[in-house]
Amino acid sequence: LGAIEKGILFLDAGRNVVRLLPPLVISDEQVITVASVLDGLLGEEEAARIRS
């Protein structure tokens, strides 16, 4: 699933830049969730690049 399906919104800001826009108030649990989702998405992208 993509980031939106996992409840995370972010913007790309170039080929190798991800722009995060966190709210002013964010819990530790929410930070961990975002980091985990982003890590998974980057892992999927890396695996796709290796296969091609």
pLDDT at 19: 84
Q: What is the pLDDT along the chain (52 residues), one digit of tens a residue?
A: 678 888 888 777 888 888 888 888 999 999 999 899 889 988 988 898 898 8
Report whether 9 contacts 21 (CB < 8 A).
yes
Q: Where are the domains of the chain?
A: 11-51
pLDDT at 4: 83
* CA distance linking residue 49 with residue 17, whole number of Å: 17
Query: Phi and psi for 11 in degrees, rounded to 5?
Result: -115, 145
pLDDT at 26: 93
Report whether 11 contacts 21 (CB < 8 A).
yes
